[in-house]
């Protein structure tokens, strides 16, 4: 569960949990509020906060939330040296693959787990030799 901290106060609209439709109820989230699982939905950022699902305009919140646990996923240049093992193996470490669709991959036993758009696929590669490019 990705957790982030707000670095400014923002106003948002409460979203119906079952239908996913924004309501007319407005909420103010204060500086330091903890938000979970942010996802961009059209021109809004949708996330959970204290059990509520909230939509906040991207223009108002963009750049004003930072991860609490872990490091944000930053693309690694192709020639950069890779560490032998991550410091904390409790988390899945995703790496970004250059593509016209948001695409990431992570090593799993026997190959790669690849996330592209809203899909997930397993790519068999026991030696983890695939460099992330297409053939």
Residues 54 and 104 reside in one and the same domain: no
Question: Which residue range(s) make up the domain with 123?
Answer: 89-135
Model-level pTM?
Answer: 0.50
Distance, in Å, from the CA atom of 113 to the CA atom of 66, rounded to the nearest integer, reads 26
Q: What is the pLDDT of residues 35-77, one digit of tens each?
A: 888 888 888 888 998 889 999 998 888 888 888 865 554 444 4
CA distances from 24 to 8, 11, 38, 55, 97 (A): 22, 12, 20, 11, 39
Beta-carbon-side half-sphere exposure of residue 76 (alpha carbons within 13 Å): 15
pLDDT at 13: 93
Residues 57 and 93 reside in one and the same domain: no
Residues 7 and 57 reside in one and the same domain: yes
Instruction: Please tell me the total count of domains within the chain.
Output: 2
Distance, in Å, from the CA atom of 17 to the CA atom of 109, rounded to the nearest integer, reads 36
- For residue 75, tell me if it sits in a domain: no
Write out the H or E segment, with its range, that includes residue 5. strand 3-6
Report the pLDDT averaged over residues 106-113: 89
Residues 128 and 94 reside in one and the same domain: yes
């Amino acid at each position: 569960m990705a957790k982030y901290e707000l670095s400014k106060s923002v106003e948002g609209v409460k979203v119906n949990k079952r239908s996913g439709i924004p309501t007319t109820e407005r909420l103010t989230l204060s500086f330091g509020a903890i938000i979970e699982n942010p996802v961009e939905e059209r021109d809004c950022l949708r996330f959970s906060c204290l059990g509520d699902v909230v939509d906040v305009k991207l223009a108002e919140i963009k750049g004003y939330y930072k991860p609490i646990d872990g490091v944000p996923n930053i693309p690694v240049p192709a020639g950069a040296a890779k560490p032998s093992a991550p410091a904390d193996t409790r988390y899945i470490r995703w790496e970004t693959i250059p593509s016209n669709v948001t695409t990431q991959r992570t090593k799993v036993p026997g190959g790669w787990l690849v996330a592209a758009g809203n899909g997930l696929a397993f790519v068999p590669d026991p030696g983890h030799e695939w460099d992330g490019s297409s053939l």
